[in-house]
Structure 1
Amino acid sequence: MEDGAQLADREKYQKIVGKLIYLAHIRPDVSYAVGVVSQFMHQPQVHHMKAVWRIIIHLIGKVGHGVLLKNNGHLKTQIYTDAGWGCEKGDRKSTSGYFTLVGGNLVTWKSKKKNVVALSSAEAEFRRIAQGV
């Protein structure tokens, strides 16, 4: 939020972001960006709306992309995790995520800003690994 910035049309912003939230369930490539813009639903500013339009332009350029499930001949389970320590400029909270593959197919994913501030990058990583497992 910027002080004195011009406000966007809140109703239009909420409609578009609401549809993007629904779409993010099948498009993990935009789920983090949609999560960020959804934080400003109560009072969107013009630069927030510009970010929403950038997400839409990305989606238009990637029509036909999404989650693909195929038979890879195995059922090996893999979990990948990552965490960014103190990377949020506003409150210094960690952002982290994980995704799970079964048989080489993406089945779960999550990206979230943590509720607490981690004291180190190692702590942020271990918290995410524990949640991924």
Structure 2
Amino acid sequence: MGSLGLNLCQRKYALDILHESRFLSCKPASTPMITGQRLDKGDGVALSDPGSYRQLVGRLLYLTATRPEISYAVQQLSQFVDVLTSTHMSAAHHVLRYIKRAPRQGIFYPKGDHMQLNVFSDSDWVTCSTTRKSITGFCVFLGKAFVSWRSKKQATADLERPSTLFCDNKSAMAIAENHVFHEKTKHIEIDCHIVRDKVAQGLVKLLYIPSSSQIADGFTKALPTSQFALFVSKLGVQNLHTIQLRGVLEDETYKENKSVVK
């Protein structure tokens, strides 16, 4: 912990994963997943023993506690623990190559008393070709501190055409289609309209943000190198080794300048 904040990383744990997977000497990768890659059950050649893959995915899931930038890649990998193929294993190895690039990387929590809560949310529509489900991602900042995030497949499928729901209650249909509160809807619990209610109270603001500035974008898809680097920087994820090296250089510069003054 420094004077500017707290840096959390799992360096030893990351190195243990690389060592046990025999990837300590691998060539580093700049991103945890190949740009635009989308894994499927039928990709590659089926492998008979998924045990090592399951163990690796489990360890990577634990690593996301301080490495949120690999959340999307690990979420993708976790879908295939029962139908492992060579493509899935190759994708898992790519994550290991990314970890090798900076095992000291972790989340930085800056000091400060700014308590503004900001939330970013994004969805990649019908990403999964098998289930026709979308990937949803969100991240939450308390001031400048990155406090919560998630990358997950939606529980329901997005359909290309609307579903037909037959109902024999015209009042219920009118309420569903009419967003305006009136006398007939006073019995409905407020928690059914919680977001709308908080917006009306001014406690929540819904603001548009362009895709280029959407931080949660990295939790829904595999980004190219330049966009991924920007995504990581906005999360407050830093390489502790780089920070320590910068501090050493600054100390050396200070000592040199001090000796010159004498």
Match of 1:116 in 2: 156
Q: C-alpha offsets along residues 58-90 of structure 1, whole Å, 9 cap, x if unaligned?
A: 111122212110114512111111111112222
Q: C-alpha offsets along residues 97-129 of structure 1, whole Å, 9 cap, x if unaligned?
A: 111000211000011110112357xxxxxxxxx
Measure the CA separation in 1 of the matches of 2:141 and 2:48: 39
Percent identity between the two aligned chains: 31
Structure number with bigger Rg: 2
- Shift of the 52–119 alpha-carbon distance from structure 1 to 2, 3 Å rule, reads same
Aligned-residue RMSD, C-alpha? 2.1
**Amino acid in the other structure paired with 1:6:** A
Alignment match of 2:142 (pick from 79, 82, 102): 102
Secondary structure of 1:2's aligned partner: coil
- What is the number of equivalent residue pairs in this alignment? 122
Measure the CA separation in 1 of the matches of 2:52 and 2:137: 29
Name the stretch that deviates more: 95-104 or 65-74: 65-74
Secondary structure of 1:69's aligned partner: strand
Q: TM-score, normalised by structure 2?
A: 0.43
Answer yes or no: is the 8 Å Cα contact 1:8–1:49 preserved in 2: no
Q: Does 1:5 align with 2:7?
A: no
Match of 1:125 in 2: none
Name the stretch that deviates more: 64-73 or 25-34: 64-73
Measure the CA separation in 2 of the matches of 1:36 and 1:58: 16
Q: C-alpha offsets along residues 3-37 of structure 1, whole Å, 9 cap, x if unaligned?
A: 88231631111111111111112211111111111
Q: TM-score, normalised by structure 1?
A: 0.81
Alignment match of 2:104 (pick from 64, 71, 84): 64
> For structure 1, which runs of at least 5 residues remain unmatched after alignment?
121-129
Measure the CA separation in 2 of the matches of 1:91 and 1:27: 28
- Shift of the 43–91 alpha-carbon distance from structure 1 to 2, 3 Å rule, reads closer
**Amino acid in the other structure paired with 1:35:** Q
**Amino acid in the other structure paired with 2:78:** S
> For structure 2, which runs of at least 5 residues remain unmatched after alignment?
1-40, 161-194, 196-203, 205-262
